[in-house]
Amino acid sequence: MAAGMKTLTLAAQDAVHKNLDAKAKRLVSGIVAKAKEAGIAMTSNQVGGMFGLFFSDEEKITRFAQVSKSDQERFKKFFHGMLDEGVYLAPSAFEAGFVSAAHTNDDIDATIEAAGRVLNTL
């Protein structure tokens, strides 16, 4: 119970959520930029430490129908390529990814670079 209370106390601090938001924005914008460099249409959404990546020409994905129209096969290839790089993402574009307080800037940089390598193979 003490560990749970400490977790709630730490999570209630403003800096925790601002930090998660900044990390997720950095991660998502970096991956989308790598997709653009590879000539691949990708968009994203992100709130706090939660994010989604979509292989789509749409500017923003906000509805199930839009996700359904995104390139699911390319997402599968991206997911498996990222696994091969040692990066574990949500296995479907219909699921959210999460950044945690434990992720470092080095982790984010390494993930963006791995995404670049994978995207260049798609």
What does the alpha-carbon distance between residue 13 and residue 45 come to, in Å, rounded to a whole number? 24
5, part of any domain: no
Q: What is the dihedral of CA 95, 108, 72, 97, to 10 degrees?
A: 0
According to the model, what pLDDT value does residue 17 have? 87
108, part of any domain: yes
Residue type, 67: V
7, part of any domain: no
4, part of any domain: no
44, part of any domain: yes
33, part of any domain: yes
Number of domains in the chain: 1
The structure's pTM equals 0.90
According to the model, what pLDDT value does residue 5 have? 82
In tens, the pLDDT along 56-89 reads: 999 999 999 999 999 999 999 999 999 999 999 9
2, part of any domain: no
Please give the average per-residue pLDDT across 6-25, as a whole number.
Answer: 84
- The domain that holds 81 is classified in CATH as 3.90.1150.10
76, part of any domain: yes
According to the model, what pLDDT value does residue 98 have? 96
Print the domain residue range for 71: 17-119
